[in-house]
């Protein structure tokens, strides 16, 4: 009996022990991502979301000792902060404590138990308040362990900072006026709200905008049923799904990733730049997927009213059909400043004498002064617009299923962009007489049509005979060996023609000696001045480089690229015929004490801007994606107006649309301009050209060469010298002494900052050329650069070079990448 009683007691004890252990383990597990009323976490302690993706705790931003409560990625990118609670009220030391009271209010207290920050709950207090960090990155307060988002008492997703995460909602509640929007950090060290915000503007038809204070910098556009109209989209997005809500109660937008293994974020940085990035597990880094401000046409109202912007045209702005430049003093094609926009050629009649011109492939105008109705079709939309004299255009509100709904504009049409693919249709109101004039262009009378038919027959016959003669001529040329086996997309000039033009390559006509041979000035019989690059037989540029330059540059047309007129091949001799540049090359001016004085600060900025635009064109806007690989001062030619033109595409390489970098065993280029990853590992990309551009900018500012630079106080090259001055907060000492009376201090500091960002050691840290242009032209706060690559010249010598061929300034190096 006693034994049985003892056994029962032992069994009861074990049951209690098991229950206690179970409660302990459950409590411990929950404590990893949860705290309940009366509990807290101190500085040094953290909460981790159930899947281990996010972590919450106290942290200090880079170069700061202040402590903030924040959320950051834990699983993939430790230290990437996505949310901060006490943005404007830091804790000065490690005494901070986060707690939750029995009413569900979160509080941060400092060492003196003063409240630094607290949450506000808009609902009734909970019976069992719990604060939990979810695997979405959302920190929520709820009643017990209820997982229904509608029952949350408070959530961090309602108070975004600089990061827009999947599942987060941005927008405005029309009933309460509550506005969820992104706001940049004030700086890299200070998470307080900065001057940039990304939000949905509720005026007219709501649209996504980026603002600096009250001013709009960038407009993503209104929702068209599939995407925001500021984007050019032709196919569904395989990575994201989107949800846009617009009703009498709210306007909101959120996105989700279709694959839970993909980590994505939007970031509004302290400089006002918006990036969408995806975590690249292979590189173990964030990879920028897209940038809101991708080019000059992304600047809000870049071309003023009634004008469109097109990145592939020069100039990018042009008036709509039926409109003309508003400023009489600025011809259509010459003025850079289009802020005054365009005006109508013929005033509207407003009495039934108006009609509409259809424009296709557009980013539709600013909708802040517009009106919409989803139930009206396009035909009735036109009738509505004609009834109101203030109505200037109309379009479909929703582009799905062929389009439906009505969107009307009142007042000026601004911030329009021409897309090469995608875009929307816009019907623009014009006076009927003006529209008839536009539509009559190109229409012919019967007599004119008959004349054209006769002329076409004659021309066709002539072309046939000419083609036959050309075929015979080519056969003869091949037999004589005068022409190579390759067919080029440029005119092939006779050797005799080039010899006559250059006075038989007279010494008096010689313009200079490049890395691949002499360059001569010539004049063709019709009076066209040319520059002839005669490739020496023993030069480093062989047949492949020659073919490369001819075929690539033939497809490129931009005001900041040198124009190639043709080529000449005579047995094993090859020549390139360019447009003549009367002011020679950039190095002729900036590295000469006397001639450098001819380039004041304004001229140098003009040259920097032109070079940047030329590189942007070959990287992003041309039919091909080109990596130049030999950007240097001697390859920047100057025309009669000192406009810069990039030349010498012999070493350039074409990239595919999705290609970001390539590898080579034959590293070619010029020391002092080549990026570290290219010299040491044979890796080249657009960021290699960005590095070369940064070197060029520093040389233009300083009037000194990067390679061969010497200073009595140190052994650094120009990059190292510029970095040293920057870190010592005396960057203006880099400036060419000849510019002391002409420079703009703000512009100089911005230029040096951008140049140092371009020459950073890691390619991923360097901006792309679209961002470079925005930073050069804008007024945003720029990020602080990191140490440049090739901090001192002798770092280059760590490369395992098998052979080095030096030809004047050019250097071709054969390396075996590591």
pLDDT value for 72 = 96
- Quick count: other Cβ atoms within 10 Å of Cβ 163? 18
Q: Is pLDDT above 90 for 690?
A: yes
Place of tokens 């590992």: 681
In this structure, are 593 and 710 located in the same domain? yes
Mean pLDDT of 681-702: 92
pLDDT value for 805 = 29
pLDDT value for 285 = 80
The residue among 742, 741, 751 whose CA lies nearest residue 701 is 751
Whether residue 7 is contained in a domain is answered as: yes
In this structure, are 533 and 606 located in the same domain? no
Structure-token pair, residue 597: 């004085």
What is the percent of the chain with per-residue pLDDT over 70, rounded to a whole number? Answer: 80
Mean pLDDT of 14-30: 48
In this structure, are 603 and 727 located in the same domain? yes
Contact 239, 248 (CB under 8 A): no
Sheet order of strands, 68-73 included: 47-48, 54-59, 68-73, 81-84
Mean pLDDT of 13-38: 59
Dump pLDDT digits (tens) for 731-755: 999 999 888 777 889 999 999 999 9
β-strand 307-309 against 416-418: which pairing, if any?
A: parallel
Task: Provide the CA 746 distance to its chain's centre, in angstroms.
Answer: 23
Structure-token pair, residue 618: 């070959």
**In this predicted model, which residue has the larger pLDDT, 3 or 431?**
431
In this structure, are 662 and 796 located in the same domain? yes
Contact 618, 609 (CB under 8 A): no
Residue 500, C-beta contacts closer than 8 angstroms, at least 6 positions apart:
525
In this structure, are 666 and 789 located in the same domain? yes
Structure-token pair, residue 711: 């200073």
pTM to 2 decimal places = 0.60
The residue among 583, 578, 548 whose CA lies nearest residue 561 is 578
Q: Is pLDDT above 60 for 797?
A: no
CA distances from 462 to 25, 449, 468, 489 (A): 93, 20, 10, 22
pLDDT value for 369 = 94
Q: How far apart are CA 200 and CA 268, in angstroms?
A: 15
Contact 53, 73 (CB under 8 A): yes
**In this predicted model, which residue has the larger pLDDT, 350 or 697?**
697
In which domain, by residue range, is 249 found?
160-294
Structure-token pair, residue 291: 């940038």
Whether residue 286 is contained in a domain is answered as: yes
pLDDT value for 479 = 43
Contact 133, 156 (CB under 8 A): no
- Quickly state the pLDDT bin for 99 (edges 50, 70, 90): very high
The residue among 135, 96, 103 whose CA lies nearest residue 119 is 103
pLDDT value for 469 = 62
Structure-token pair, residue 310: 């097109």
Whether residue 485 is contained in a domain is answered as: no
pLDDT value for 793 = 45
Tell me whether residue 658 is one of the annotated catalytic residues.
no
- Quickly state the pLDDT bin for 485 (edges 50, 70, 90): very low
Whether residue 445 is contained in a domain is answered as: no
Q: Is pLDDT above 70 for 538?
A: no
pLDDT value for 475 = 52
End-to-end CA distance of the chain: give it in Å, rounded: 83
pLDDT value for 804 = 29
**Domains held by the chain: number:** 6
Q: Is pLDDT above 60 for 191?
A: yes
Find the radius of gyration of the CA atoms of the chain.
Answer: 33
Dump pLDDT digits (tens) for 443-467: 544 555 566 566 666 666 666 666 6
pLDDT value for 243 = 93
DSSP 520-552: EEEE-TTS-EEEEEEE-TTSS--HHHHHHHHHH
Dump pLDDT digits (tens) for 489-519: 567 888 888 988 998 888 889 988 766 778 8
Structure-token pair, residue 479: 């037999």
pLDDT value for 564 = 83
pLDDT value for 817 = 31
pLDDT value for 467 = 63
In this structure, are 123 and 178 located in the same domain? no
Residue from 630, 648, 689, 736 carrying the catalytic annotation: 630
Domain boundary among 294, 324, 352: 294
Q: How far apart are CA 579 and CA 557, in angstroms?
A: 13
In this structure, are 237 and 259 located in the same domain? yes
In this structure, are 241 and 289 located in the same domain? yes
Contacts 24+ apart (CB under 8 A), 775-780: 775/271, 775/750, 776/608, 776/609, 776/612, 776/750, 776/751, 777/296, 777/609, 778/272, 779/212, 780/196, 780/212, 780/271, 780/272, 780/273
Q: Chain-wide mean pLDDT for the chain?
A: 82
In this structure, are 602 and 744 located in the same domain? yes
Contact 356, 382 (CB under 8 A): yes
In this structure, are 174 and 242 located in the same domain? yes
**In this predicted model, which residue has the larger pLDDT, 375 or 481?**
375
**In this predicted model, which residue has the larger pLDDT, 460 or 198?**
198
Q: Is pLDDT above 70 for 316?
A: yes
């Amino acid at each position: 009996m006693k034994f049985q009683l003892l056994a029962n007691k032992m069994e009861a004890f074990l049951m209690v022990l098991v229950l206690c252990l179970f409660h302990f383990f459950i409590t411990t597990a929950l404590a990893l991502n949860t705290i309940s009323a009366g509990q807290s976490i101190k500085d040094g302690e953290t909460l981790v979301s159930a899947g281990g993706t996010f972590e919450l705790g106290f942290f200090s931003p880079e170069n700061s000792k202040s402590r903030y409560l924040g959320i950051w990625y834990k699983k993939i990118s430790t230290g990437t902060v996505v949310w901060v609670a006490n943005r404007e009220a830091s804790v000065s030391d490690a005494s901070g404590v986060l707690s939750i009271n029995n009413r569900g209010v979160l509080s941060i207290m400092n060492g003196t138990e003063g409240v630094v920050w607290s949450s506000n709950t808009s609902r009734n207090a909970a019976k069992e308040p719990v604060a939990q960090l979810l695997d979405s990155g959302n920190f929520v307060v709820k009643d017990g362990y209820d997982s229904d988002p509608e029952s949350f008492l408070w959530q961090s997703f309602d108070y975004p900072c600089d990061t827009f995460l999947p599942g987060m909602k941005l927008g405005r509640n029309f009933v309460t006026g509550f506005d969820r929007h992104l706001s940049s950090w004030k700086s890299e060290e200070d998470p307080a709200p900065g001057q940039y915000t990304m939000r949905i503007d509720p005026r007219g038809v709501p649209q996504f905008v980026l603002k600096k204070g009250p001013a709009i910098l960038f407009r993503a556009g209104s929702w068209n049923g599939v995407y925001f109209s500021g984007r050019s989209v032709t196919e569904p997005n395989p990575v994201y799904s989107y949800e846009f809500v617009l009703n009498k109660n709210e306007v909101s937008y959120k996105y989700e990733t279709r694959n839970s293994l993909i980590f994505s974020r939007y970031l509004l940085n302290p400089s006002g730049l918006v990036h969408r990035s995806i975590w690249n597990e292979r590189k173990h880094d964030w990879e920028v997927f897209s940038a809101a401000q991708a080019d000059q046409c992304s600047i809000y109202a870049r071309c003023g009213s009634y004008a469109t912007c097109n990145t592939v045209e020069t100039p990018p702005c042009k008036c709509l059909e039926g409109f003309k430049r508003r400023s009489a003093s600025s011809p259509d094609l010459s003025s850079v400043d289009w802020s005054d926009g365009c005006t109508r050629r013929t005033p509207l009649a407003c009495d039934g004498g108006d009609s509409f011109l259809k424009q296709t492939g557009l980013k539709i105008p600013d909708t802040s002064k517009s009106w919409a109705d989803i139930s009206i079709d396009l035909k009735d939309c036109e009738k509505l617009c004609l009834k109101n004299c203030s109505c200037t255009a109309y379009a479909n509100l929703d582009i799905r299923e062929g389009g439906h709904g009505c969107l009307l504009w009142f007042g000026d049409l601004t911030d329009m962009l021409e897309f090469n693919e995608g875009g929307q249709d816009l019907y623009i109101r014009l006076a009927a007489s003006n529209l008839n004039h536009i539509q009559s262009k190109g229409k012919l009378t019967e007599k004119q049509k008959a004349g054209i038919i006769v002329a076409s027959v004659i021309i066709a016959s002539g072309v046939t005979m000419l083609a036959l003669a050309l075929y015979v001529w080519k056969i003869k040329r091949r037999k004589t060996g005068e022409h190579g086996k390759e067919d080029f997309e440029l005119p092939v000039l006779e050797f005799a023609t080039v010899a006559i033009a250059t006075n038989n390559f007279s010494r008096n006509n010689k313009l200079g000696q490049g890395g691949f041979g002499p360059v001569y000035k010539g004049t063709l019989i019709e009076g066209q001045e040319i520059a002839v690059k005669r490739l020496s037989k023993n030069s480093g540029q062989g047949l492949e480089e020659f073919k490369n330059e001819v075929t690539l540059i033939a497809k490129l047309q931009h005001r900041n690229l040198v124009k190639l007129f043709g080529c000449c091949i005579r047995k094993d001799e090859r020549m390139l015929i360019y447009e003549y540049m009367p002011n020679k090359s950039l190095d002729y001016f900036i590295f000469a004490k006397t001639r450098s004085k001819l380039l004041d600060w304004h001229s140098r900025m003009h040259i920097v801007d032109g070079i940047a635009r030329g590189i942007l064109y070959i990287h992003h806007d041309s039919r091909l994606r080109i990596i130049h690989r030999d950007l240097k001062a001697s390859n920047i030619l100057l025309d009669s107006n000192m406009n810069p033109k990039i030349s010498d595409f012999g070493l350039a390489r074409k990239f595919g649309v999705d290609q970001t970098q390539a590898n080579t065993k034959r590293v070619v280029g010029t020391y002092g301009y080549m990026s570290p990853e290219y010299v040491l590992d044979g890796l080249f990309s657009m960021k290699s050209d960005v590095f070369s551009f940064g070197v060029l900018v520093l040389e233009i500012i300083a009037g000194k060469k990067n390679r061969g630079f010497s200073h009595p106080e140190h052994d650094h090259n120009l990059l190292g010298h510029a970095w040293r001055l920057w870190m010592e907060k005396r960057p203006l000492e880099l400036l060419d002494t000849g510019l002391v009376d002409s420079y703009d201090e703000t512009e100089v500091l911005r230029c040096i900052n951008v140049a140092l960002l371009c020459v950073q050691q890691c390619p991923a840290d360097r901006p792309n050329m679209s961002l470079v242009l925005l930073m050069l032209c804008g007024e945003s706060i720029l990020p602080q650069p990191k140490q440049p690559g090739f901090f001192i010249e002798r770092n280059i010598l760590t490369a395992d070079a098998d052979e080095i061929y030096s030809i004047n300034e050019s250097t071709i190096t054969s390396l075996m990448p590591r």
